[in-house]
Each structure stands twice: as C-alpha cells, then as structure tokens.
Structure 1
Amino acid sequence: MSGGEATPPAAVQMCYENVNGSCVKTPYSPGPRLLLYVVFGLGAVLAVLGNLLVMTSILHFKQLHSPTNFLLASLACADFLVGVAVMPFSMVRSVESCWYFGRSFCTFHTCCDVAFCYSSLFHLCFISVDRYMAVTDPLVYPTKFTVSVSGICIGVSWILPLVYSASVFYTGVYDNGLEELSSALNCIGGCQVVVNQNWVLIDFLSFFIPTLIMIILYSNIFLVARQQAKKIEHTGSKGESSSESYKARVAKRERKAAKTLGVTVVAFMISWLPYSIDSLIDVFMGFITPAYTYEICAWCAYYNSAMNPLIYALFYPWFKKAIRVILSGQVFKNSSATMSLFSE
C-alpha cells in the first residue's frame, strides 16, 4: 500500500473517483476501521438513548418538574442533538477520511457542532449559578430561582450559541486571511474548517470564561457545604429545634445535588479542555496538529454528550427509578406521571 515515490498514481485512492479536484482518501485497514465504527457508533447511540431517557423522565414525571431539572432536560436536549445531528456524520468523516454529505451540509454540520457545544456549556454555567444559590441560601432559593427564571436561562443558553454559530459560519468571517489554505483543504469530499486566530481566541475565551465562573462557584459551594456540615454537627450535639432540623435537611439535600452536578462540570471540562487547548495552539503554530491528534480531541469532546446520563444514573436514585418505569412500559399508565420517585 505505501511505496513512497515509486507508487503508481493508481494506488492513490480518491474520495470521488474520476472527479477532478477530489480529496485523497486515506482509509483505515478493515480491523481498525470496524473498531472505530463500533467505538464512535456506541458514543452516538449512548448520547441519543441516554439523553432521551433524561428528557422523558423530567418532562413526564410531575415530581421532577423543578427549575433545576428543566435546565437538566434542556442540557440533555443539546447533548441529544449532538448524538443525532453531529456524531454520526463526524464518525463517517473520521473513519473514511472523506465527507460524502455535500458542501452546504458541511456548513450546517459545523454550525450545529459549535452551537450545541456552547449550548451545553451555557446550560452548565447556569446550573452552577442555580446550585450556588441553592446551597448558600437554601430556604430563600425557591423564591429566587423560579420556573420563569429557569426558562430565561434556557432561552439564553439556546439563542446566543445558535446566533453566534450561524453568524460566524454562514457569513464566512471565520477564515478571513486564510482563504488559500481553506480552499486547498476543502477539495471535493472534504469538510475541514480553518478558523483564523481572532475567532479561535474568541472561541477559547467563550469556553474559558464560563468554565472559570463554574470553577469559582463550585469552589465556593464546597466551602459553604463544609461550613454547613460543621455547623450541623455543632448544633446537633446540643439538640436542635424542628425548624433547625428542617433547615439542615434542606441544606444536606442541596449539597448532595451540587456534588452530582459538580461531577458533571468536571467531566465536561476534562472532555473539552484538550480540544480547546489544541485548537488554540494549532492556529498560532501554523496548523501543525496531526489529523489523528485532532480526531482524538474532537471525539473526547463528543463523548461528553454520552457521559451526563451515565453520571445521573450513578448518582441520582430518582433517575434509576424513572429508567425502570420507562423501560418496563409502566410509563404508559395514566397514573405513572404522578408516582413518587423519591425514597425520602
């Protein structure tokens, strides 16, 4: 297969045979090819089915209708759309090294990719604000973070990323100054987006600033949680009034929820950080990243969309119970919407 300069031109595989300007195809051998399809396909299936279960659980069971859970359902929707509209097409491009879905769909796919990523990030940022308010002032929190406030957060988390992504990729400003490189990479059968330094920097800051906010908020949440735990120990030894006991129970519940969502935020950062750093370094070093390094970073980020439902399944007893009800078919009974999912 690889014979250097002596290889005849016939040995070179093209994405589109007999088409002038077609990209060169660099396919994997059958074994690794099958393995990659399994690994990437599993990620897409997990993202679709897992997030569908999260959305169905929260929207169907009345007991789960809370401002925080509506944010979680909307986050699951963003991850679900990554599994439906982004991952399957990226899988074919990654394994076949060719884009077979047309130029206009390439732009749409890139637009969806960026928009849904930022939508997830914005949702997580609002969830961390919600958790901070819940832990620092658990008794006043329900009057501050209402369903309408949650609705505004959801609206912002969708509208801003979609407008930003569409305005960048449909106006073509992202590759200003890199037109030659862009046209060289985008032969027929290619879907490579080359983004200039200005937009990569804006992208990185758009990732870094909400991430920094989340780190600060969750650090404060855990500090407050420790103080509350010490206070409860102190008052518990003296004997406490029923109102103090209620306050302690509420605080404990909110801390537990904050810890679970803290794991979700950490998982997001671990998944997306390699891609964000690689994109930043790559554009300032003259696009030197090997294709396989880029693919690994991109798929680590995509796989984050499949991880959140697994985290909820591990940490939320109500989600486990909801899954059992949905998968057993009990969800179709009229009374299922009002059933209790909480043990306490």
Structure 2
Amino acid sequence: MKTSTPSTVCVLLYVFLGSLSAVTICGNLLVIISIIYFKQLHTPTNSLILSLAVADLLVGLVVFPFNMELSATSCLFFEDVLCKVRDSIDGTLSTASILHLCCISIDRYYAVCHPLTYRTKINFHVVVIMIVVSWSFSLLVVFGFLIAGINLEKCKQNCFIDALLANILGPIFSFYLPVILMLCIYLKIFLVAQRQVRSIQGTKSGATASKTERKSTKTLATVMGVFLMCWSPLFLYFFFLVLNHTSVSFAVIESLNWLALSNSMLNPFIYAFFYSWFRSAFRLIISGKIFQGDFSNSKLH
C-alpha cells in the first residue's frame, strides 16, 4: 500500500536521506580502513569495533536505500515484500550492533576490573568467537521473528505463541536483555574505576595505563549511550504498541526508525572525537598519504 508524495518533498527527502547514507558509508569506511591498515590499531577491542563498523556500513549501503524508497512512498509496514526485506535486514544489523556493544562491554570489564589477566582472557581467538556468535545469534533472532510474523499473518486466532515470539520475545532478546547486561557491566566498571582513581599510588606508567583503560571505557560507554538514545524510542514504541494495541502516524514511526538508523552514522564521529589515533589515521587516509608510501607502522598520536 503506497501513497503518492509531492515531488518537491520527495526530492528534498531523497537529498537529505542520501546525504545521511553517504556520511554513514564514508565514516564507517574510514574506521574499517584505519583498523585494517594501521598495525597500531590491531587490538582485540578494535577487532570488535571493526565488526561493529561493518554492521554500520551495511546499514548505510543496504538499509538506508530501502528506507529512502519506503519513506518517500509512505509504504505501510508489513504490507509489502519490500517492507519485510527492509525490516529483516534492519533487525539483523541492529541486533548485531547491540550484541557487539555487549561484547565490547565485556572486553572493557576485563580490561578495567581484571587488568592482570586481561590479555589472557580476551585475546584474538576469544574475540573471533564473540564476533561469530553475535552475527549468528542476530540472524537466528530475526529468522525466528520472521517465521512468527508469517504464521501470525496466516491465522485468525490461536496465534498466542507466534504473537508472543514476534512482538515480545524478539525485542527482549535482541534489545532489552543485552541493554540490561551492558548497564550492569558499565556500572561495575564505573565503581571499580572510581576505586582505582582513589588508590593509585604506583608508578607513573601504571597510572598512565590505568588512565588509558578508563578513557577507552568512557569512549565505548559513550558509544553505548548514543546507541540507547537512538534506539530506545523505537523499542519503547513497540513495547507500548504491544500493551495498548494503539498505533501512531506513519510519519512518527518513520522518524523513530530514522533516529535509530542514524546511530550507524554517529559512531565514527565518536571515535574521532575521543581517540587521537583515530583522528591521525583518518587524516592520513583522507589526505591520500597511505597511497604514497607504507604508513602501516606509523606511530599514531
């Protein structure tokens, strides 16, 4: 079911959404190239950030074009195959993003709370397992959501289990439980970091290392906070939709959806703002210097 939209509004909408897509793609490409190219950035934490950037890049490449078409033509949810495809890809990538953030919070927990065993507990092998599990579980959740939604459309009654899976269990496992877990982990990290600040009496190098870990944790906690700010309104809408069975206008739903998707655009700016080595890497890439020689071993400041 599609409705026509005034051509001027359509053009302006395409220009605006196209700009968001371009910024999202370019920003996440910078993150991906930086982590792959510069050896200084080859760390377990950055491997998780790399996989998260891939998910964000796919949002810019795939989900944004789908959304541009559906937003401009006012496609009503679940009434078109294109809508289902969009929601499936969107759900997979958003679930993958939050599970990656969950893994990153676990990485930060060991880095700050168990610094002596961090390098043995969180190595590249463990990180690869985290990444594979995150993507696999994302596909599993969305596949189950799709099956339940299809069954729900076919039946007139006795669909309690499918409705429960599609409307309640899906958001719980893909959003609410990971968010609660992350909040608990970051609260624990905050308390431990506060104790470390008060008790550091060691060498300058020890204090510097602890400061670096706390700054890294603060940055990644900001990434999580921005994610919650972008995605919470949409999931809260779904929650109240299940409770009250009331819907809002198409424009409001699409606005909430675009707010959620904008998270994929913001993460690279957060890294650039907090991390000086990402800024240095971005400058070397944008200026084209990496094509003029081998800068992979460069010391990023």
For normalisation by structure 2, the TM-score amounts to: 0.90
- Aligned partner of 2:97 in structure 1 is 120
Structure 1 residues 289 and 118: CA distance shift in structure 2, 3 A: same
Q: Are 2:75 and 2:83, in contact at CA under 8 Å, matched by a contact in 1? A: no
Instruction: Tell me the secondary structure at the aligned position of residue 336 of structure 1.
Output: coil
- Aligned partner of 1:165 in structure 2 is 142
- Aligned partner of 2:129 in structure 1 is 152
Q: Are 1:71 and 1:150, in contact at CA under 8 Å, matched by a contact in 2? A: yes
1:198 has 2:159 as partner: no
1:170-181 correspondence runs (5 A): 172-179=147-154
Q: How many residues align?
A: 293
Structure 1 residues 24 and 45: CA distance shift in structure 2, 3 A: closer
1:223-262 correspondence runs (5 A): 223-232=191-200, 235=201, 240=202, 244-262=203-221
Q: Which has the larger radius of gyration?
A: 1
For normalisation by structure 1, the TM-score amounts to: 0.80
Question: Which blocks of at least 5 consecutive residues in structure 2 are unaligned?
Answer: 157-161
Q: Are 2:234 and 2:260, in contact at CA under 8 Å, matched by a contact in 1? A: yes
| Aligned CA-pair RMSD | 2.1
Distance 2:116 2:41 in 1: 19
Distance 2:252 2:184 in 1: 30
1:103-114 correspondence runs (5 A): 106-114=83-91
Q: Are 2:141 and 2:170, in contact at CA under 8 Å, matched by a contact in 1? A: no
Structure 1 residues 144 and 31: CA distance shift in structure 2, 3 A: same
Q: CA deviation at 1:218?
A: 1.0
Structure 1 residues 178 and 289: CA distance shift in structure 2, 3 A: farther
Q: CA deviation at 1:24?
A: 4.5
- Aligned partner of 2:3 in structure 1 is 25
1:329 has 2:288 as partner: yes
Match of 1:221 among 166, 176, 189: 189
1:51 has 2:19 as partner: no
Distance 1:205 1:41 in 2: 32
Distance 1:292 1:249 in 2: 49
- Aligned partner of 1:211 in structure 2 is 179
- Aligned partner of 2:112 in structure 1 is 135
Q: Are 2:145 and 2:165, in contact at CA under 8 Å, matched by a contact in 1? A: no
Distance 1:196 1:41 in 2: 35
Question: Which blocks of at least 5 consecutive residues in structure 1 are unaligned?
Answer: 1-22, 182-194
Instruction: Tell me the secondary structure at the aligned position of residue 335 of structure 1.
Output: coil
Q: CA deviation at 1:140?
A: 2.3
- Aligned partner of 2:264 in structure 1 is 305
Q: Are 1:67 and 1:150, in contact at CA under 8 Å, matched by a contact in 2? A: yes
Instruction: Tell me the secondary structure at the aligned position of residue 37 of structure 1.
Output: helix
1:58-97 correspondence runs (5 A): 58-97=35-74
Letter in 2 for 1:226: Q
Q: CA deviation at 1:35?
A: 3.4
- Aligned partner of 1:35 in structure 2 is 12
Q: Are 2:23 and 2:265, in contact at CA under 8 Å, matched by a contact in 1? A: yes
Distance 2:244 2:251 in 1: 17
- Aligned partner of 1:289 in structure 2 is 248
1:272 has 2:239 as partner: no
